[in-house]
Amino acid sequence: MQAGTPFEFRIRYKFISQSEAIVRYGAPSELLELGRVTPGTYCTRQYDECYRKKCRLQSPNYPGMYPRNVTCYWTIRQKVVPTCKHAMVAISQENEHKALVKRSIASLNKTARAVRAWSDCTGERDHLIFYDGSSTNDPVLAKYCGGDWLPRVVS
C-alpha cells in the first residue's frame, strides 16, 4: 500500500436473537452435534458415530445465506459397527424450507424450485454430491441441485 492511499474495508455483521442461536446450535440442555471442523478449512466437517447421537449437517452461516465461492465437504463415518447391526448411513431432509440449492436470484420462482438430479445439474448451478466414501474419488451415490426437499440418500 502506498503512502497517501486511503485504506477502506467493508464489514458485515448481524445480531441474532436467542431463538435464532438455538436454531443454529441447539438449546443449552441439548446442543446439536455439528461435527468437527477439519483443520485448515473454512467449513469442511467430519461426523463420527452418529448412531449414538443425532448429527446435524448444516451449511456455514445457517440460518443465514451460504457464503459465495465456498465448497464444503461433510464426511459421515461409522467407525464401529454395533453388534448384530449392519453399518448404513442415511441422510434425509424433509423440510422443504430448509434447502434451496439455487442458481441465481432470478430462479426463485415456483417452477424453478423442483429438485433436479444428475445430468440436469449443470456446472453453473450450486449442487450437492453424495459419495459412498470419504473422498471425491469414491463412487457417487447421488447428485442434486435446485428444489425444495431432498430425497433420502442411503450408503
Tell me the average pLDDT across 5-15. 82
Please report, for residues 73, 130, 132, the alpha-carbon distance to residue 136 in angstroms, rounded to integers and kept in the order given.
Answer: 9, 9, 9
Task: Enter the pTM of the model.
Answer: 0.66
Separation of CA 51 from chain center: 19
Model confidence pLDDT, tens digit, residues 95-125:
655 555 554 444 445 555 677 777 787 766 6
Confidence band (pLDDT; 50, 70, 90) for 76? confident
**The predicted structure's pLDDT at residue 38:** 93
Residue 53 makes CB contacts below 8 A (sequence gap 6+) with: 33
Amino acid making up residue 72: C
The region of weakest confidence among 27-31, 123-127, 131-135 is 123-127
Contact in structure between 130 and 91 (CB atoms under 8 Å): yes
| Domain ranges (residues) in the chain | 15-79, 88-155
Non-local (6+) Cβ contacts of 126 within 8 A are: 66, 101, 102, 103, 145
CA–CA distance, 134 with 130 (Å, rounded to integer): 10
Angstrom distance (rounded) from CA 66 to CA 58: 10
Contact 128/146 with Cβ under 8 angstroms? no
Closest by CA position to 138, among listed 84, 76, 91, 87: 76
Strands 74-77 and 45-48: parallel
- Mean of pLDDT over the chain: 77
